[in-house]
Structure 1
Amino acid sequence: MRTKQLMPLTVFAFAYFLGACSGVKFSQHYDCEQDGSCIVTGGVAQYSAQEVTVGGGKVDILIVDDNSASMSYEQERMAARFGQFIKNLDNKYMDYRIAFTTTDISSSQNAARSINQNGALQDGNLIALSNGKKYLSSTDGDLAQKTQIFNDVIKRPETLACENFIRNWISSNKSINNSTYSTEYYNNCPSGDERGIYAANLVLQNNPDSFLRDDADFQVIFLSDEDERSQLYSSQSAYALTEMDLGKNFAQNIRAKFPSKNFGVHSIIVADSYCLPLQSQQLLNVVSGSYGYEYDNARKEAQSIINLERSSKGLSSVNMVLGDICSNDYSGQLQNIFDEVSGPIVDNIALKCANPQNLNVTVATNDSSVSYEVVGNVIQFNKKLPVGTKVSVSTYTCDE
């Protein structure tokens, strides 16, 4: 095994002055002096040395969590395996955000009320996490803390409350075919008209809480045991699909809003004839499952868009995940999704100013061909450094 060498790469950038300027010139370094990031002496700012670990890029992950009745079992299984998913992201040094929304869309028949937190759990709003934030990020504590935050949000209390209401109602030998049941269901349950694609479109459209970053990849995971609008669109005009409900449109909308962003859509759904009857039996046959056609359409269209673009660049195709919601163990499916999650690798490091003086950059690498140059206020490397590579940036100074 070759011993890793520290390869010093030093550049000296010389400042120059542009000819006689009149009027008052305010120092750009006042702010850095106030926040403690530099020391200013005689109009020259000195910035402290830093060590940077090359990360695996940025990725924003949206999980659309069906919070209707019959989903608590699936939410539990997702929670049981997601810790490894987070661990894998951390090991890859990913700068990630993971946000959650529900399949609940408001309407005149589905108003804001207590069970949906007065609208907070509707219309593509991001679910508040136990730490008060609206998305889980790579900096939110250690693995155990982040896993706990995920578990707390994926397992929906309104889902369990609804299921308990239905079980208690049935065990009391009450009829579910009358207006009393309908009224109590409305008060105790979130919407049974699941519209996860509509909700995802609203997240894309509104970018709540500035979740989506322009420079990050975007990955979407749908978790549902029913199709968009419970597939009632096939038999009841009141449940006709709108443009916002169509899976194909969702994938196209992502590309329209972010023309150059890498993205993926993955669906953990009812996908075959074996799974369908199992889902229908979960809640005393009161709530039935359905094939997730529209969720799979979103996956297929996203895969088609990305692979067509990759083919034009001579790159190999990717496979977006069609998962099985009836699986007893989601670990394999989550691993497959993880394999497709890769943010753009950054091959540069930002500096506090252009033309820094006395700058020394050291890269911990065995690759003697690695070099860099300072371009404006950026250290630009000649190649992408492997994830996990440590780069030491010395103290440097900047004139006004």
Structure 2
Amino acid sequence: MSGRWGLWALVVGLLAGCADRERASTADGRLTATPAGIDFQRVAVFDGREAQVTLRNVGRARITVDEVWVEGPDGTYLASFTHEGPHSLLPGSECGLKVRFAPLEPGALPATLVIHSDAKLEPILRIPLQGAGVDAWARVSPHKLDFGRIEADSSKTLGVRVENPTDMPVEVSTRLLGADQGEFAIEPVTLGPGETRELPLTFNPVKVGRKSVALAVTPCRGCADVPVHVAAEALDRAVVAEPTELDYGGVPIDKDKKLVSRIRNISTEPMQVTRLELEGRDVSFSHAINDFPLVLQPGEAREWELRYSPGHMGPAEDVAHYHVVSRRNPTTSVPLKGHGGAAELCISPVEHDFGARPLGSKTSIVVNVKNCGSANGGPLKISSMDFQPDPAGPSQFNHSPLPVPHTLGPGEEVNFKVFFEPTREGAATGALMLATNAFNAGVVRLDFKGLSERHAPCQLAVTPAALNFGTVPPRRGAILALKLQNVGTDLCPVKNIRLRDDGGGVFRMPGGELDGVVMYPNDWFAFQVAFNAPATGGSFLGTVQVEQGDPANPLVLVPLQAHSQEACLVPTPRFVDFGVARKDCPPAPRQVNYLNACSAPITVSDVRLGPGTTDVEFSLRSAPTPRPFTLQPGEAFSAEVEYFAQVSGMNVSPLFVDVGDLPQPLLVPLLGESSKRVEKTDTFVQQDGSKVDVLFVVDNTASMVEEQPRFVNALPDFVNTALTKNVDLRVAVTTTGIAPESNMCPGGADGGEAGRFFPVDGSRTRILNHRMPDLATRLQGNSQVGQCASVEQGFEAVRRALSEPLVSSADDPRTPMPNDGNAGFLRDEAALVVVFVGDEDDHSPDSVDTYVRFFQAKKGEFQPQRMTIYAIAPTGVACSTAGGEGTRYAEAATRTGGEVLSVCAPDYAPLLRNVANKAFSPQDRFPLSELPDPGSVSVRVNGTPATSGWSYEAATNTVVFSPSPSPGARVQISYRRACQ
């Protein structure tokens, strides 16, 4: 009732206002107030209630009300005029006031309304005020709301609890603040006495991310805001896959691989997953999962295995779909990919026991790593390779360098060494860890162990004490050797045998550095050191180092010395290899031929053997005497050396020739190996006949009147056979003449071609090939060499033709004839066929063995099948035009797998066709390097034993195939060596 009364009084006051009239000067006004007192009764704290007060002038004079105020609790009451003034009242007029009661605290709050006027008798009018404050405002809880993390496009509602503990109604209002307030919604409410309600705050995220928002709750009219902190985040998706993609990499066709697919609920709400299915792009992917439907609790993760079993080679793809009850993301998809065919690791050994080793030794084991995956399986990558630390101290194991990452294609392999270098007594272990991308081996552990023992200091003898290579022509090389022998009574470990100084790159160790050897008393071994003379020549020094197990003298240094310059004296061969011999049957002596290749005489002062590994093993059997002697231009001499083969192992000594124009002697290395082994294997690779260099050596003596025309007439058949077989052919002609005989001889050399190709004067093209038109006619022209010489030296002619300086020079510097060199004929990649044509046997100065070895060396010391000799010469069948028997030609042909055809035949065309067919076809005759014991010969072709299709021909010491092995076939002929 009091509230309604106050409102009515306010309306009346506003309508009436305050009058302002002339005031009588002799009368006084009197002011009254209605009501005389106000009881606001109970009002909620922070709420308010107003009442109207009417002031009336009941006197006889005008009254001016100056001001009004309330005396009482600060801030609780407020009094004010309802009219702006001036507040003058004529007798009988009224003026309105309003008083507002707004309690700031609970309890009785009395006060007095004071009205001041200019009345003379009663200027102050007091009106009592009464009211009680009531603690009537809503309690708000909680003060923080956390919506957690939910998917965008979803909805979540949390409640704000508001409670009215009083018996009065409370009006609660709300406001949202912050940049993201638009994604939240809440309504205000009025609480009745004692009522409790929850105000629903709804989060409807649209954008992904954390939200910036706060809720302000006003718990009553006029109350200060109560802040409620709101935390919320919107996610793009609630269920995520870990990892987001499954890449199986390469997997072999006959294998399968399983990977774990995990899904996680990253939201704070439970999420239902109904099923998992594969899209079905490739049947190579599969699963056997029956766990659905399921509910993922907040933060929960579940995982399953998905399998890839490649059903085909090459790439494969599919997609796994997890179906989720979600408006925004109804599926969580996981791409799957793999590759049929993979890199696979094969490694051996995976463990090794080095056994007991002396302190200071170095022992190695070779570890083989191979990518044994399928051809399209991709590369194998070794990403790291390290020994684990040894808790006992510095590691006693290490490995040879292998740059990582190291990649191996399918089928490729790599070897590296693991070393045991004991530095302290006792047992030692080491673990080498390899990290790879192999299908079956991500990390591989290789275990090694050993035991180290202490021994007496080494007593090592080095022979020779220094290596002197003498003189080696530029761009040539030579090999000598050092011998290490344990002359003590205890084990002697040596290691890290290597070049300490390679002389600027000219010295090297052909067998590679030696990691370590443990020698028993009186044991010895030898290793080779090579000198490669640079094109510029010069003098060079170097050093070989040997570390030995002797703390007082741990390092042995062996000096190296070499000189290089062009030399007039040309040795053939440039080294002599006696091969593997037996003590009970040393090899036959060998010859070295020395030719003066210059245009001036030279003086040879000595021929001698220098210091070697074992000086008693080689001997100079013969050499020209007396010495010194002079060698004219084009003259030659031979030195014969023998090897006794009495000291087991490799033996090397230098054969030196002291020449007046050289500061150091000319070197020809002598090599031999003595072995108790009687078994030997000769290995051949079948030629394909696609590239062949053919040299015809035609007898140009006077007796060739009948034979030369037959040979010339038969050449077209030879050429046609070659062209029919599509041979990449080079062909040249020289004569058996060495010394000039008569200016009646054609070609410009007076019958003394001495290995130069005919015609020496260049009147016709001297080196022919299969692309030239009229090849047969050109070859016929070059083969008409005349009949004016007197001595047949076919072997010597070929040796000179294929020797420096002729073989590599366009011009022979020793002769006045221009452009008479043989450069451009001999190709490294081509087979070499030499065909001798003559009516008398060869009369060259050196042995057949010397020449054959020289010819074979032109195509590789261990590839004799690439050089074949044929001859149209006298055989055992006598005829009127043949001068004796061609025994030297026959021996050379037999040793190289060729044949000798009778010079007595009336028509050479069938003979030359036969030569061409054999020379340009796969080889069917394989000469053995040594004589076998009868019945000991066995044959393997490409690693498979061959029990038929071949026979051993004792007369020629040759294995003959029928049919021939296919081109490229690897032929191994094993036998027990007979003592010759």
TM-score (norm 2): 0.21
TM-score (norm 1): 0.50
Which gives a bigger RCO, structure 1 or 2 (Cα 8 Å, sep 6+)?
A: 1
Structure with the bigger percentage of helix: 1
